[in-house]
């Protein structure tokens, strides 16, 4: 059974995914050991995890519609899923088969990705793309909102806006009124570091 403390714990880590257990425990009024054990249980049960996603404001991003031959669709999806520059893949109805979100460090790389690589996949017979000019709201801004105003201020960590990626604390508790749908599955285990030095960036964007 998950309790209100678990919701508050996740909320703290949404605000500062690199927080130490000592900091989290102080904010929540419990011991570092308690929050560490509770977090590990959430991770082990597949309820919450920490992952990374690119900061789209610092990347070239495109929304790509892909047309596939029906018999090739499963293999095309499998191939696309293996490419780290594709951050989301959706099957759709209508005039396209797949809708992709593609990120790249610059426009030439993005063009090569969309025109040459995606367009050259066996089974793909057409694609259309549109550049994203600005990100209005992203998954990194979603919060459970289980903390008081004071606790939220105490939980604030380093400003991630300047990084090339965001660390996201994701929560799938069934008793939440709102859930966050992620485009990638939860990684096996990526716990928040229990010591003071921050965890190294796992994306390799070289901006951290």
Q: Are 116 and 127 in contact (CB under 8 A)?
A: no
Residue 28 or residue 59, greater confidence: 28
Rg (CA), the chain: 19
| pLDDT at res. 144 | 82
Total domain count for the chain?
Answer: 2
CA 70 to chain centre: 30
Helices marked H in the chain: 4-15, 21-28, 32-44, 73-81, 107-111, 149-155
Which residue, 109, 131, 153, sits at the end of a domain?
A: 131
Residue showing tokens 């403390």:
5
Residue 48: is its pLDDT beyond 60?
Answer: yes
Please indicate, yes or no, whether residues 125 and 68 belong to a single structural domain of this protein: yes
pLDDT greater than 70 at residue 184: no
> Whole-number mean pLDDT of the chain?
77
Q: What is the CATH number of the domain that holds 90?
A: 3.30.70.920
Residues 44, 23, single domain; the answer is yes
Number of Cβ within a 10 Å radius of residue 141: 10
pLDDT for the residue 177? 28
Range of the domain at 115: 56-131
Predicted pLDDT at 140:
64
pLDDT at 40: 92
Read off the pLDDT band of 143 (50, 70, 90): confident
Q: What is the pLDDT of residues 53-88, one digit of tens each?
A: 666 667 788 999 999 999 999 999 999 999 989 989
């Amino acid at each position: 059974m998950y309790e209100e403390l678990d919701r508050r714990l996740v909320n703290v880590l949404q605000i500062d995914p690199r927080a130490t257990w000592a900091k989290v425990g102080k904010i929540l009024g419990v011991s570092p050991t308690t929050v560490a054990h509770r977090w590990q249980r959430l991770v082990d049960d597949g309820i919450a995890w920490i992952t990374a996603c690119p900061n789209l404001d610092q990347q070239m991003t495109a929304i790509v519609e892909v047309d596939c031959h029906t018999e090739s669709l499963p293999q095309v999806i499998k191939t696309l899923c293996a490419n780290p520059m594709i951050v989301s893949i959706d099957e759709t109805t209508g005039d396209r088969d797949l809708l992709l979100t593609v990120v790249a460090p610059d426009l030439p790389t993005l063009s090569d990705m969309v025109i040459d690589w995606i367009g050259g996949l066996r089974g793909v017979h057409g694609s259309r793309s549109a550049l994203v000019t600005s990100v209005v709201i992203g998954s990194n801004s979603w919060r459970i909102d289980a903390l008081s105003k004071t606790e939220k201020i105490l939980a604030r960590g380093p400003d991630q806006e300047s990084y090339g990626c965001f660390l996201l604390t994701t929560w799938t508790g069934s008793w939440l009124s709102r859930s966050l749908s992620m485009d990638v599955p939860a990684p096996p285990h990526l716990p928040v570091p229990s010591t003071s030095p921050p965890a190294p960036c796992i994306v390799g964007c070289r901006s951290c």
